Structure 1
Amino acid sequence: MDVIDLRDFYSQHLGIVARRLINRGIRARWPSARGQRVLGVGYPTPYLGLFREDSERCIAFMPAAQGVLKWPTARPTLASLVDEYALPLPDAAIDRILLVHALELSDDPAGLLREVWRVMAPSGRMIIVIPNRRGVWTRTDSTPFGHGRPYSRSQITELLRQAWFTPTAWGEALFMPPVAGSWFLRSALAWERVGAALSLPFAGVHIVEATKQVYRVSPARRERVRLIPRLEPVLVPSPTSRREAEGGGK
């Protein structure tokens, strides 16, 4: 999907409700980002408004294959088109990173996470909003969550560990079916409360918080030592000196 498709979805009634429900889950993990440097990767602009006012800096990076839109619309631009595998930031530059519509649409999700690991501060935190493989939202392509590769909880955990992250908290959102009917939209919050209380498995997205593994243990490998017998040096005359010695004897 490109940015036009994503923008159109979030301008519809279903997209507005989805944004509110996901924002509710993000806010539960990060109630404040005061004084923090916040980065969103993918298409995070519907959710970065939570942190734009109180953070030290809040910027959005959108992958080149997806495209970019000006954000915010009435202020100086804080969004940029980037290569998602070579983010234009120095090491350990960001305190909070939010990934939305990123991993499931990436050709190399492990490479993207390693680049995120590079730019994250040692005490940084990351939230990933990613489609749930068992959810209803992944079974329809009328929403962005039905595109790309969805993940189960075990798959996300394995991917994060391969990229040197540790999952620390889990949440879900979008328990309501992806139906734009007025009754479903009005009852969306009730769906969320019932689904969270009963731990129902068919939520539309996972909301995963993870931290950076600063020290990663690598297994030690003992090198095989080839034993060579010790030889004493022996003086051997060269062929020239040997002929001279023979000629002198004659």
Structure 2
Amino acid sequence: MHMDVIDLRDFYGRPLGRVARHHIARRIAQVWPDLRGLSLLGLGFATPYLAPFIGQAERVIGLMPARQGVMQWPAEGKCLTGLVDELELPLGDESMDRVLVVHGLEASESLRGMLRQIWRVLAPGGRVLIVVPNRRGLWARREATPFGHGQPFSRSQLTQLLRESMFSPSGWEVALFAPPFDWRPLLRSAAAWERAGHMLWPRFSGVIMVEATKQIYAATPLPATLKSRVRAVAPVAAPVPARRVTSFDES
């Protein structure tokens, strides 16, 4: 079960959603303090976290999975969002320097397929930052928030999934320690909860954030499981002698 774009928009319009966005955005800014001259893709429902990068990054776009729906963003000016098939991103190979995934991986029906597409569109040495619900956290157990829907993850699960998809985890962050309730005294003390949580119980955060770097060892064509016009390659995490690699269109 997953939330659609209207549910996600409404959540971030509530006091609890604004608190969640504030604390997650702070951690994103710590991981990526400067994206000047770089291209940034937000995948899933990442638009609440993309605004600080407009005017800083060279290019910012947001792509939303078809099952979730799409909404115009930003509210004014040129629309920077699009509705896509997560297994067929309409971007060229090696066209993005950074990819931010929020409310995307946990709701995906094909985790490895989505990661293959991210790997394909990332430039060599590009980085992806993934925000997912923490399996041990309280937020994953409350369906009134988006983090209570879809599949939560542990660090070990994320590490294995990323390595199988030819990404190398390079850094971890955690956020959301206040209980996920729209109770005014809790929301006012959210900053104190964050400070205490980072010091005392980091394993029980609401979300896990992992930054991973694209690795290039070898590439083989994707299995022909989907009819697609997009040329894509699937990573294989094993060094091979340098040779000419031929890509095939899926059919």
Query: Which TM-score tier does this pair reach, normalised by the shorter chain?
Result: 0.7 to 0.9
Post-superposition Cα deviations, 1:133-187, rounded to whole Å, max 9, x if no partner, equal: 0000011100000000000000000110111101000010001110111111111
| 1:140 aligned residue | 142
Of 188, 198, 203, which residue of structure 1 is paired with 2:205?
203
2:41 partner amino acid: L
Query: CA separation in 1, counterparts of 2:133 and 2:182?
Result: 19
Q: Distance in 1 between matches of 2:132 and 2:73?
A: 22
**Alignment pair present for 1:218 and 2:220:** no
SS of corresponding position for 2:53:
coil
> What's 2:10 paired with?
8
Alignment of 1:160-171 (within 5 A): 160-171=162-173
Helix, strand or coil: the match of 1:189? helix
Equivalent position of 2:91 in the other structure: 89
Q: Counterparts of 1:102-181 in structure 2 under 5 Å?
A: 102-181=104-183
Unaligned ranges ≥5, structure 2: 219-236, 241-251
**Cα drift, residue 199 of structure 1:** 4.3
When the two structures are superposed, what TM-score results if normalisation uses the length of structure 2?
A: 0.86
| Residue in 1 that maps onto 2:38 | 36
Distance 2:38 2:47 in 1: 17
Q: Which amino acid aligns with 2:33?
A: P
Q: Provide the residue aligned with 1:78 in structure 2.
A: 80
Q: CA deviation at 1:218?
A: 3.0
Q: Over residues 183-231 of structure 1, what are the superposed CA-to-partner deviations in whole Å (9 max), with x where a residue is unaligned?
A: 11111111111111224321000011000011255378xxxxxxxxxxx
**What is aligned with 1:238?**
none
**Percent sequence identity over aligned pairs:** 55
From the CA coordinates, give the structure whose radius of gyration is larger.
1
Q: Which runs of 5+ in 1 are unaligned?
A: 221-250
Matches within 5 A, 1:55-74: 55-74=57-76
Q: Which residue identity is paired with 1:153?
A: R
SS at match of 2:77: coil
Deviation for aligned residue 1:5:
0.3
The TM-score with structure 1 as length reference comes to 0.86
Aligned-partner Cα distance in 2 for 1:53–1:139: 37
Deviations along 1:104-130, one digit per CA (max 9) or x if unpaired, are 000011110011000000021110000
Moved over 6 A (4+): none
Query: Hey, what's the Cα distance between the residues in 1 that align with 2:239 and 2:192?
Result: 49
Structure 2 counterpart of 1:174, one-letter code: L
